[in-house]
Amino acid sequence: MIAVGFALLGAFSQALASVLHRMTNATDEEEKRSLAQTVGHLVRQPLWLLGMVAMGGTFVFTALALYFGTLATVQPILVTELIFTLALRAFWLHDTIPGRTWGAAGILCAGLFGFLIVARPQEGHGSPSVSAWVVALTTRGAAIVVLVVLSRWGSPARRAALLGAAAGMMWAIDAAFVKAATDALSAHGWIGMFAHWPVYAVVASGVAGTFLLEAAFAAGPLAASQSTLLIVDPLASIAMGVELFGEQLASSPVAIAFEVVFLLVMFAGVVLLSRWAPPAMEAHVKRSPRTVPVGGASTLGPGSADGGVLPADGT
């Protein structure tokens, strides 16, 4: 339950960061600035600074969730960022949310918590061997390379979807590194943690995940990249949790069947929310009433390129 609570806090923090940054962008006037001017402008914006604090909270809460819980529990829960973003748009920014969008959120929740109840993820041995890391990283790295190469051809939607899948795979790797880093922190303390490789791997995979995510945003429709990202990330994280950390899921034939069904229900909710994402958030000054499906951005590190519902992240 502690891990679930921290995972929900991480999802809420990322949703809050997304909305705050979108509000900052929505109230800015369009003008050309150099990189230095852009940075200087942003650091003078209270909403942007508060959004950065919220992003920091996302990392802390997610790391705590992975310390107390399993990858198979934490990573799927981070998808609830979509629902927190929806709630913030509705109750804070007073956007009107259509019933079909609330229905999609309900589908996502039903699938997510149905999976967690049936699967009952349990901690494993918690200490991956070097060979296990080599196999896991080699196979996932090869999959990412293949996805990136294939994304060079095809329609914008296909390219965005493939890059979104690659980003999802990278964020699953990042989550595994975060969990390993929290284990090193527990065993060796704050100073000793920096003598072990996982903490540096977190930084490297986070940068790579952000690069892939931005490439997916630029390649095509947000709905395409977001859907594949939010489907691949939980699945890859569950697999890595079992493979690396010995995490255990209910494995009777009936349990497996229900786990698959609930994951499919959750992913259906993700796709529907992604398809019904709103246009870019507008300035909330002298607004006229309008209908907006849902909006936001993402997981341990990722952010939205427009007013869509993207999560994270990462980790």
Please give the pLDDT value at position 92.
83
Lowest pLDDT segment from 179-183, 231-235, 272-276: 272-276
The tens digit of pLDDT for each residue in 25-46 reads 555 544 555 445 555 655 666 7
CA dist 308 and 312 (Å) reads 12
State the chain's mean pLDDT as an integer.
81
Do 46 and 107 belong together in one domain?
A: yes
- Kindly indicate the confidence band of residue 238, based on its pLDDT and cuts at 50, 70 and 90: very high
Length reported for the chain: 315
Which of 46-55, 126-135, 205-214 comes out lowest in average pLDDT? 46-55
Higher pLDDT, 109 or 301: 109
Q: What total number of domains does the chain contain? A: 2
138 shares a domain with 220: yes
Q: Is residue 66's pLDDT more than 80?
A: yes
Domain holding 69, by residue range, is 1-115+269-303
Segment 152-171, tens digit of pLDDT: 988 999 999 999 999 999 99
Whether 308 maps to a domain, the answer reads no
- Residue 128 shares a structural domain with residue 230: yes
Q: In 10 A of CB 137, how many CB atoms?
A: 17
| Run of H or E including 238 | helix 222-245
Q: Mean pLDDT over residues 309-314, rounded?
A: 45
What pLDDT score does 38 carry? 53
Residue 105 lies inside a defined structural domain of this protein: yes
Q: Does 281 map to a domain?
A: yes
CA–CA distances in Å: residue 253 to residues 56, 113, 118, 119, 262? 41, 19, 12, 12, 14
Do 14 and 93 share a domain, yes or no?
A: yes
Tokens of 78: 């981070």
105 and 132 share a domain? no
On whether residue 262 sits in a domain, the answer given is no
CA triple 127-248-84, angle to 5 deg: 95
pTM more than 0.85 = no
Judge if 74 and 141 occupy the same domain. Answer: no
What tokens appear for 134 in the block? 């080599």
Residue at 60 is within a domain:
yes
